[in-house]
Amino acid sequence: MQVTLHHHTPLVICSDAIRTCWQSFDKSDNGGEVDRALIDRVGNKFKHASTLEHITYNFYIAGISRALLQELARHRMASLSVKSTRYTLKELKEEPEFTLADKERAGNYLVYCDVEIVDEMSIKALENLRLVLASGISNDRAKYCLPESYKTELAWSINARSLQNFISLRSDKAALWEIRDLANMVYNTLPTEHQYLFENSLKEDHP
């Protein structure tokens, strides 16, 4: 799994939005310690969390399973643009046969869960999908054979308020292991000066 932060809103955008309410722009330090404290005080301590929606992040996430993608779709206050199976399954069509001995090569397409029988069945499902594609079935029909472990990638945009909720839920030990890894990676990818907004959302066993 790879997580890359492509864009983030400067903190001063959020602090200026907050200062609009009190017309206190003269107290701004352009996103420095004073503004950081203001954002924390208003957005977190005073629970005016809507102000945090002025901060947005855009990530590029690669190498996740479609099972994780389905979990991501439950976080409604976010935007996803996902690699299309309609146009990209041709990369699999050109592959030679996959056998259980081809675990490393199959790993280019699959996320393994380290349960031997599950990973073996994923490789078999991948080969079945390759055979369907090779028979000339269109991608739109063949993709119904996709295993949940099939890798995908996406652009993901989310505001700070929603990201707090995401990290709180998904860094918990009860979360799916793969999305738990993602939550921690997303936090670690954030700019250092933004991480303080999410420290209370992380669970204690954050690596």
pTM of this structure: 0.91
pLDDT over threshold 80, residue 200: yes
Which one of 19, 36, 66, 170 is the catalytic residue?
A: 170
CATH classification of 2-80+152-195, choosing from 3.40.50.2300, 3.40.50.150, 2.40.37.10, 3.30.1360.170?
A: 3.30.1360.170
The 3-class secondary structure across the chain, one letter per residue, is CEEEEEEECCHHHHHHHHHHHHCCHHHCCCCCHHHHHHHHHHHHHCCCHHHHHHCEEEEEEEEEEHHHHHHHCCCCCEEEEECCHHHHCHHHHCCCCCCHHHHHHHCCCECCCCCHHHHHHHHHHHHHHHHHHHCCCCHHHHHHHCCCCEEEEEEEEEEHHHHHHHHHHHCCCCCCHHHHHHHHHHHHHCCHHHHCCCCCCCCCCCC
* Per-residue pLDDT reduced to its tens digit, 1-40: 999 999 999 999 999 999 998 889 888 899 899 999 999 9
> Mean pLDDT across the chain, nearest whole number?
94
* Catalytic residue flag (residue 170): yes
Q: What is the pLDDT of residue 25?
A: 87
User: Domain spans of the chain?
Assistant: 2-80+152-195, 85-150
